[in-house]
């Protein structure tokens, strides 16, 4: 077994569906894990869920479910998300698992006994969404300084962790390990904002709720979520496990090579977590990388603003590779960036469909046209070939440097230098002209050189867009030995003579304007087209959403439901919307009036089949324009997998009848 590499994501709060921001951290960690595996490391990639605390208890209560049932449904949804995004985690820890709970209880007991944790009384402020304690002086206009929401005053008996005792050692560790806090710019913020003003002892238990790990000696105390959560990084790999094999695993992988976290939870990872480890006498993680935030145009994503992007929606439409590529490429890791439909569509179209997709497709097409679909042997290189070979070498080295520095966006830019240059090489060498001139030797060398570049590109893309990269490897029949990391340093490390499949385009070319508009509709809450999500091109076959995922959405009360006006409608006419292959325009009689409704059901119904149907219409939806056509309502349809059925009203109900 090779050298180990242990990488983690935060364990997310399963109080709600995860959004594209959570996917960001997980995809980045996945790309690094895959890259390290490619380089021969024995990788342990851990993710999971942080399942205790007041917030989860409250959400479960609102959903009228025992916490664990509430959680199981969401965890199933989260795991399904990671499957769809091709996340190659090696382990998924849930803090409600016995392997975690028993170790945390024991560890707490030990820290009490050795005097690092003591009993006292906490008086101060608490932010439940962040599960964070705050001093009066930390609050900003009386609100949580992290999330801006209301805080509550709490006074309760609590255990405290003697953080202050370890501050000097912590600062010394920072000095001796300049790579510990990454990007480096975050270090000053941590020291100036949290350590210099005086690090206070941390409250590490709560008594006002009971959904958590109980302190063995004092069971009315529940271990504070952050102490519970942070220790997942060691319990998951067998710290203090009764099982010897598990303990060996811990010896093997600890300390972690890198914890990936968002900048919001940096302080827990670079201050509290190292101190807890010091108290336990364990080595500290080598690096903590605090990346930036994916924002929306109107600021931070939040459920209450309704500007949260559901990653499954995007994966269904574009496939996992497209989303992975966008997340890794669009924003330099470490910085904040804004999500816009324009940026997504342009990246997919220009980088993936045009540059990469086109290169792979046209090369295969030329191999078929000029060489019977078989990669020919080369003769001597011309300078133009040597230049491409030289660039490929440089790109492999740059890519490695940038991946090691966790600069995913730059590493992908490196690969695209080779993609674009290879396209240019084809234009310059013009294989079609060589074919016409029957200059077979030269033609063969050019074709070989093109395939050589594609091999290197495919291997370099395995970490970021594993499906497409594997599809290229298969299409071009590269053998396992020709797709190893070491093989990249020899341009000619593949035996010519293999057959290349003609293949389908890897990524569909999008009509930019149209797609941006559709994406806006799709991601806009309250969009008037019900079933507008349609897998495209190579989009992977995805499991459909189940009841479990719906149960995580907030429950509404009956008054909210009654705000929706449902009526029976009779479809009197239907036709296709011009230049919008998914949309039908319906004229629907609602009793006292006729409404025009545009619906995304063209793929499932012929217009004439709908005429005469009685349907159920949301009659008080604000009008919206779809592809320039006004829609004055929405019809109800059921969807499952690829099937969509318009809901029909009973035949004896007149148009306009109220549905409730
Ligand atoms: O904090 N952009 O869980 P959490 C980028 N349970 N990343 C984002 C993001 C955005 N808009 N929104 C969320 C917790 N993230 C604790 C962690 S670890 C021992 C316990 C990512 O569900 C980012 O990684 O609130 C952030 O740190 C994390 O989700 C917060 O997830």
Number of domains in the chain: 2
**500 and 560 belong to one structural domain:** no
Q: What is the pLDDT of residue 626?
A: 80
**395 and 513 belong to one structural domain:** yes
Helix (H, G, I), strand (E, B) or coil at 193: helix
User: In the predicted model, is pLDDT for residue 138 greater than 90?
Assistant: no
| Average pLDDT over every residue of 633-640 | 86
Ligand 1 environment, Cβ below 6 A: 10-13, 21-22, 24-25, 50, 229-230, 232, 261-262, 264-265, 293-294, 301
229-233, 335-339, 427-431, range with the lowest pLDDT: 335-339
Q: What is the pLDDT of residue 546?
A: 29
**516 and 553 belong to one structural domain:** no
Nearest to 470 by CA among 485, 455, 481, 453: 455
Vertex 342 angle, CA 339 and 348, to 5°: 95
Residue tagged 């190292």 (tokens):
274
Q: What is the pLDDT of residue 559?
A: 63
DSSP 133: E
**375 and 405 belong to one structural domain:** yes
**522 and 425 belong to one structural domain:** yes
Nearest CA to ligand 1 atom 30: 12
Nearest CA to ligand 1 atom 8: 21
Average pLDDT value over all residues in the chain:
90
CA-to-CA dists, residue 654 to 83, 181, 594, 618, 645, angstroms: 46, 68, 13, 16, 21
- Which of 21, 212, 268 most suits a substitution to test ligand 1, by most atoms within 8 Å of the C-beta? 21
424 contacts: CB under 8 Å, gap ≥ 6: none
Asked if residue 515 lies in contact with residue 390, where contact means CB atoms within 8 angstroms, the answer is: no
Nearest to 261 by CA among 13, 12, 19, 25: 25
Is 438 part of a structural domain of the chain?
yes
User: In the predicted model, is pLDDT for residue 524 greater than 70?
Assistant: no
Å from CA of 291 to ligand 1 middle? 10
Q: What is the pLDDT of residue 530?
A: 30
Distance CA 7, CA 100 (A): 18
Note down the domain range covering 559.
Answer: 547-659
Is 87 part of a structural domain of the chain?
no
Distance CA 162, CA 115 (A): 8
- Which of 22, 310, 328 most suits a substitution to test ligand 1, by most atoms within 8 Å of the C-beta? 22
Q: What percent of the chain has pLDDT over 90?
A: 74
Helix (H, G, I), strand (E, B) or coil at 470: helix
Asked if residue 504 lies in contact with residue 471, where contact means CB atoms within 8 angstroms, the answer is: no
**375 and 347 belong to one structural domain:** yes
Q: What is the pLDDT of residue 542?
A: 29
Distance CA 444, CA 431 (A): 9
CB-neighbour burial class of residue 277 (10 A; exposed 0-12, middle 13-18, buried 19+): buried
**401 and 464 belong to one structural domain:** yes
CA-to-CA dists, residue 454 to 36, 37, 359, 386, angstroms: 21, 21, 8, 15
| C-alpha count within 13 angstroms, C-beta hemisphere, residue 397 | 8
Residue tagged 């949580």 (tokens):
144
Element (H, E) at 566: strand 566-576
Is 111 part of a structural domain of the chain?
no
Å from CA of 226 to ligand 1 middle? 13
Asked if residue 316 lies in contact with residue 535, where contact means CB atoms within 8 angstroms, the answer is: yes
Strand 566-576, strand 658-659: pairing: antiparallel
Vertex 180 angle, CA 174 and 182, to 5°: 120
Ligand 1, closest atom to CA 50? 6
**474 and 564 belong to one structural domain:** no
295 contacts: CB under 8 Å, gap ≥ 6: 301, 336, 337, 338, 339
234-248, 276-290, 519-533, 618-632, range with the lowest pLDDT: 519-533
Is 470 part of a structural domain of the chain?
yes
- Which of 14, 15, 17, 25 most suits a substitution to test ligand 1, by most atoms within 8 Å of the C-beta? 25
**502 and 570 belong to one structural domain:** no
532 contacts: CB under 8 Å, gap ≥ 6: 518, 521, 522, 582, 600
User: In the predicted model, is pLDDT for residue 497 greater than 90?
Assistant: yes
Is 482 part of a structural domain of the chain?
yes
**437 and 475 belong to one structural domain:** yes
Is 180 part of a structural domain of the chain?
no
| C-alpha count within 13 angstroms, C-beta hemisphere, residue 164 | 8
Which of the residue ranges 152-161, 416-425, 589-598 has the most confident prediction, judged by mean pLDDT? 416-425
Tokens of 68: 């664990």
107-121, 370-384, 526-540, range with the lowest pLDDT: 526-540
Q: What is the pLDDT of residue 132?
A: 87
The enclosing domain of 411 has a CATH number of: 1.10.730.10
Ligand 1, closest atom to CA 300? 11
The full length of the chain comes to 660
User: In the predicted model, is pLDDT for residue 70 greater than 90?
Assistant: yes
37-41, 123-127, 276-280, 462-466, range with the lowest pLDDT: 123-127
pLDDT band at 543 (very low <50, low <70, confident <90, very high): very low
Distance CA 451, CA 475 (A): 11
Is 213 part of a structural domain of the chain?
no
Global pTM reads 0.80
Q: What is the pLDDT of residue 208?
A: 87
Distance CA 216, CA 603 (A): 60
User: In the predicted model, is pLDDT for residue 304 greater than 80?
Assistant: no
Boundary residue ending a domain (529, 558, 583) = 529
**442 and 416 belong to one structural domain:** yes
Distance CA 147, CA 94 (A): 25
Distance CA 528, CA 391 (A): 50
Q: How many CB atoms lie within 10 A of CB 71?
A: 24
pLDDT band at 547 (very low <50, low <70, confident <90, very high): very low
The enclosing domain of 569 has a CATH number of: 2.40.50.140
Q: What is the pLDDT of residue 541?
A: 29
Is 445 part of a structural domain of the chain?
yes
Please list the residues that pair with 105 across neighbouring strands. Answer: none
**346 and 437 belong to one structural domain:** yes
Ligand 1, closest atom to CA 14? 22
Q: What is the pLDDT of residue 557?
A: 62
Q: What is the pLDDT of residue 168?
A: 96
What is the full DSSP assignment across 37-91?
Answer: HHTT-EEEEEEEE---SHHHHHHHHHTTS-HHHHHHHHHHHHHHHHHHTT---SE
């Amino acid at each position: 077994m090779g050298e180990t590499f242990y990488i983690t994501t935060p364990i997310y709060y399963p109080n709600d569906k995860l959004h594209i921001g959570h996917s960001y951290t997980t995809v980045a960690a996945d790309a690094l894990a895959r890259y390290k595996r490619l380089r021969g490391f024995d990788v342990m990639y851990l993710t999971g869920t942080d399942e205790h605390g007041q917030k989860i208890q409250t959400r479960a209560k609102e959903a009228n479910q025992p916490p664990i049932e509430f959680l199981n449904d969401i965890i199933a949804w989260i795991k399904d998300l990671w499957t769809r995004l091709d996340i190659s985690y090696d382990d998924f820890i849930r803090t409600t698992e016995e392997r975690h709970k028993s170790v945390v209880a024991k560890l707490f007991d030990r820290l009490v006994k050795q005097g690092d944790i003591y009993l006292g009384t906490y008086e101060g402020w608490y932010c439940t969404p962040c599960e964070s304690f705050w001093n009066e002086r930390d609050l900003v206009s009386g609100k949580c300084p992290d999330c801006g929401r209301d805080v509550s005053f709490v006074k309760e008996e609590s255990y405290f962790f003697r953080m202050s005792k370890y501050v000097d050692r912590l600062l010394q560790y920072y000095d001796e390990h300049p790579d510990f806090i990454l990007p480096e710019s975050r270090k000053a913020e941590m020291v100036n904002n949290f350590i210099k003003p005086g690090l206070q002892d941390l409250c590490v238990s709560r008594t006002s709720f009971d959904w958590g790990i109980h302190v063995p000696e004092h069971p009315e105390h529940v271990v504070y979520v952050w102490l519970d959560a942070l220790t997942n990084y060691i319990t998951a790999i067998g710290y203090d496990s009764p099982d010897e094999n598990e303990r060996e695993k811990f010896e093997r992988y600890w300390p972690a090579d890198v914890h990936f976290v968002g900048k919001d939870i940096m302080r827990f990872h670079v201050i509290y977590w190292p101190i807890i480890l010091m108290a336990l006498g364990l080595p500290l993680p080598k690096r903590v990388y605090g990346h930036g935030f994916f924002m929306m145009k109107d600021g931070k994503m939040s459920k209450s603003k309704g500007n949260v992007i559901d990653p499954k929606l995007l994966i269904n439409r574009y496939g996992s590779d497209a989303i992975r590529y966008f997340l890794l490429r669009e924003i330099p890791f470490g910085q904040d960036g804004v999500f816009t439909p324009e940026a997504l569509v342009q990246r997919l179209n220009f980088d993936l469909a045009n540059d990469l997709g086109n290169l792979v497709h046209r090369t295969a097409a030329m191999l078929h046209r000029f060489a019977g679909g078989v990669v020919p042997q080369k003769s001597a290189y011309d300078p133009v070939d040597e230049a491409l070979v030289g660039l490929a070498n440089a790109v492999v080295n740059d890519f490695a440097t940038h991946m090691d520095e966790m600069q995913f966006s730059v590493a992908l830019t490196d690969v695209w230098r080779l993609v674009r240059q290879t396209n240019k090489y084809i234009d310059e060498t013009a294989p079609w002209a060589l074919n016409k001139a029957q200059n077979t030797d030269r033609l063969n060398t050019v074709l070989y050189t093109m395939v050589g570049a594609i091999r290197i590109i495919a291997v370099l893309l395995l970490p970021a867009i594993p499906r497409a990269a594997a599809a290229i490897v298969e299409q071009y029949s590269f053998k396992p030995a020709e797709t190893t990391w070491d093989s990249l340093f020899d341009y000619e490390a593949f035996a010519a003579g293999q057959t290349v499949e003609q293949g389908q385009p890897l990524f569909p070319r999008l009509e930019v304007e149209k797609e941006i508009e559709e994406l806006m509709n799709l991601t806009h809450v309250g969009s008037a087209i019900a079933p507008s999500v349609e897998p495209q091109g190579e989009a992977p076959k995805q499991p459909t959403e189940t009841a479990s995922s719906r149960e995580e959405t907030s429950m509404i009360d009956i008054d909210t439901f009654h705000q929706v006006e449902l009526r029976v409608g009779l479809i009197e006419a239907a036709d296709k919307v011009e230049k919008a292959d998914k949309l039908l325009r319906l004229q629907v009689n609602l009793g006292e009036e006729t409404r025009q409704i545009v619906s995304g059901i063209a793929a499932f119904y012929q217009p004439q089949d709908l005429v005469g149907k009685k349907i159920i219409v949301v009659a008080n939806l604000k009008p919206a324009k779809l592809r320039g056509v006004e829609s004055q309502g929405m019809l109800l349809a059921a969807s499952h997998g690829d099937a969509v059925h318009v809901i029909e009203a009973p035949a004896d109900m007149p148009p306009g009848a109220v549905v409730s």
